[in-house]
Amino acid sequence: MVDINREHIEQLVKRPGESLVVEIKTWISPTDPAGQAKIIKGAIAMRNRGGGYLVIGFDDKTMTADKDSAPMDVRSTFHVDVIQGLVTKYASQAFEIGVEFVERDDAIHPVIVVPPGVRTPVFAKQQLIGDGGKMLVERDVAYVRTLNSNNTPSTAKAQYRDWDELCEICFDNREADIGRFVRRHLSSLTPDGAKQILSAMSEEKAGVPVQQERLDKLLGEGRQRFSAAVAERSLSLTKTGYWEVALYLDGLVPEQRVGTFLNLLKSSNPEYTGWPVWLVSDDFGHEADRPHVLDGAWEALIALPNGRHTDFERLDPKGNFYHLRALFDDLQSTDYSPTPGVAFDFALPIYDCTEAIAVGLAFAKAMGCQEGDCTLEFAFRWSGLRGRELVSWYGRSGIISPGRKAHQDDVTLYQSVPLSTPLSAIGGLLAQSLKPLYALFAGFELSSKVIEGKSTQLVERKANF
């Protein structure tokens, strides 16, 4: 059974937009060859991308709902057995798909969910011919999600420039399997023995400096711009804690065109959650929430009514990124959200930092940076911590002993991430770098296994967001 994040699916329908992992389709018929071809190619392309979504019932140019062409019975027309049958018949590898139905403005929209986990490229194993003998699906072709000349995504036959990334996605999944195998068979290793092995493995990286000065400057400038943007819009924001991330690409960064840079980032964001890090808000209804160019970088302050979200970000084509967001603990977004300012969920920093790193890696690769010639330097900062208690309220994902309160208001952590880092290794990095954050709460120590597990949940799109 496919793991489906319902909240994420609802966000895809609430604010539809195309990316390399999301394809928007107007109403199509799973019984008509033309509609079948779009589903088949889209599903194969998403599988080769490492998972994704086909959102049905919207104009892919305007992102507005098509209310005139919906079938009489949406649920039966797009029943999972119907879609699964098409994919199984035409895909060279069997993989399970899911279908969710989301209501918006009194209309039901199906979302076809393609899970991650591809280990070898998926091809079309037979052809599909349409009216007049038109070739709709070609046999022995690997379909992929790719970017065209203006950095907008599309589904197409894999070209030479797509194969490196496709193979890398497959190798990353294989590496994740190897990592799970190693952890399973080394579970009985003593702590001293593990330390000796890890020490030997990390000798080459010893002494590598973290570029804290430059990151601190990015954090400081970003926070100043946030304050200025709030003042410019005369906003009175609810008092919250904040999480901030600063990133710069250390190495050769190919020159980017400011005009198409936003499309590149929007298209290449893997969207692991319904409200991703470095969200591009160019299609938001309130113009003030949309990004604009300031000092050569794209900048946006997103302040939704009733304090539902507060985000600020700067996206610099030169390879500098900054994102600030109100702590989710303070947004009262669910019926069981805690009182603002009193709680700090232990799992949310893992999800946030994992997503920031994973999205940063995707951005760097989309910008043309090369492995071996680029390292991603991150700084993570949490503020407004004093007096909060470490708890487990979001997703009820664990038990934390009561009474663990922070007496320090903020903390900044740093992490270097080579561009060659596979997604499966992010949790291992965070298992070390997040320790000082948890230690603020009466010396709490969160096990590496928990951090790695939740990081894996996010990159495999199984986290409850």
Classify the phi-psi angles of 432: left when phi > 0, otherwise alpha if psi is within -120 to 50, otherwise beta: alpha
Flag whether pLDDT at 151 surpasses 90. no
* Average pLDDT, integer, range 290-318: 92
Least Cα distance to 398 among 436, 425, 438, 430 occurs for 438
* Average pLDDT, integer, range 221-225: 97
Flag whether pLDDT at 465 surpasses 60. no
Flag whether pLDDT at 214 surpasses 80. yes
Least Cα distance to 337 among 351, 323, 327, 350 occurs for 327
* Average pLDDT, integer, range 296-300: 96
Q: How confident is the model at residue 204 (pLDDT cuts 50, 70, 90)?
A: very low
Asked if 37 and 45 touch (Cβ cutoff 8 Å), the reply is no
More confident of the two residues 86 and 1: 86
User: What DSSP letter does each residue of 39-102 carry, written as one string?
Assistant: HHHHHHHHHHHTSEEEEESB-TTT--B--SS--S-HHHHT-HHHHHHHHHHHBSS----EEEEE
pLDDT in tens, 68-116: 899 999 999 999 999 999 999 999 999 999 999 999 999 999 999 999 8
290-304, 395-409, 429-443: least confident range: 395-409
* pLDDT at residue number 177: 54
Distance separating the N- and C-terminal Cα atoms of the chain: 18
* Average pLDDT, integer, range 113-125: 92
Mean pLDDT, the chain, rounded, equals: 89
Fold observed for domain 6-164: 3.30.950
Flag whether pLDDT at 186 surpasses 90. no
Flag whether pLDDT at 38 surpasses 80. yes
* pLDDT at residue number 393: 87
Q: Which residues of 315-334 are buried (b: 16+ CB within 10 A; e: fewer)?
A: bbbebbbbbbbbbbbbbbee
Flag whether pLDDT at 325 surpasses 90. yes
385: Cβ–Cβ under 8 A, 6 or more apart, which residues? Answer: 241, 344, 406, 408, 409, 410, 411, 440
* Average pLDDT, integer, range 34-51: 95
Least Cα distance to 312 among 379, 250, 224, 190 occurs for 224
18-32, 170-184, 240-254: least confident range: 170-184
pLDDT in tens, 266-289: 999 999 988 999 999 998 989 999
DSSP helix/strand/coil, 16: coil
For the chain, the structural domain boundaries read 6-164, 212-459
